Each structure stands twice: as structure tokens, then as C-alpha cells.
Amino acid sequence: NAGVTQTPKFRVLKTGQSMTLLCAQDMNHEYMYWYRQDPGMGLRLIHYSVGEGTTAKGEVPDGYNVSRLKKQNFLLGLESAAPSQTSVYFCASSSGDGTQYFGPGTRLLVL
């Protein structure tokens, strides 16, 4: 039981490049979330999903897209990376009681 895994762990992009972050969970959770964490700003919700095939915007969705084609996977895409998207990205999943379980994070540097 791996819990929540994230791929990749670290990535460097140039401005304008695109990439996809993959989150996978093996706990059969309905809810999944993508956050970004920046110094002094805590955790900010980017997008979330309440079930397979659904997505919704969070607090800071601009510049990101997501897809939840399979229940266990939640993908976060950056179509045209900007330096402001340099951050640590966390994925989380949750069962019905709201407790969220986090992945180890992806560190993204956009030059």
C-alpha cells in the first residue's frame, strides 16, 4: 500500500514549456486535490476532484488544468510554464470523512 505517490519529484522547466504532474493513490478515495505551497503562503488549493471524471477549480486555478480519467489518478498540467509557477506541488486524496492524505511533493523550478 503506497498511499499517495507523485511523479516527478523534481523538475526544471524553461518559461513557456509544458509539463504534467501525475498523482496516483491506491486507497480507492473519491476525492483528490492539488495544492501549491509557497513560503509564507501556506497551502493553496489549485484544483480538486470529487470523483472520477469530475474536476473543479480551487483557490488559484489560473495557468493549470487537471484531469481525472481514472479514479486512482489525478493529473495536473501546466500548458505554458511561468516563473510564478515555481513552487512545491502536493497532491492529496480523501475518503468521505475529509481526512486528506498527502503525497511527498513535486518541486518545480521555472526559469
Partner 1 sequence: AQSVTQPDIHITVSEGASLELRCNYSYGATPYLFWYVQSPGQGLQLLLKYFSGDTLVQGIKGFEAEFKRSQSSFNLRKPSVHWSDAAEYFCAVIAGNNRKLIWGLGTSLAVNP
Binding site for partner 1 (CB under 8 A): 4, 31, 33, 40-43, 45, 48, 50, 56, 58, 90, 92, 94, 96-105
CB of 76 to partner 1, least distance (A): 15
CA 110 vs CA 19, 24, 53: distances in Å: 11, 24, 29
Question: CB-wise, 12 or 56, nearer to partner 1?
Answer: 56
Question: CB-wise, 56 or 111, nearer to partner 1?
Answer: 56
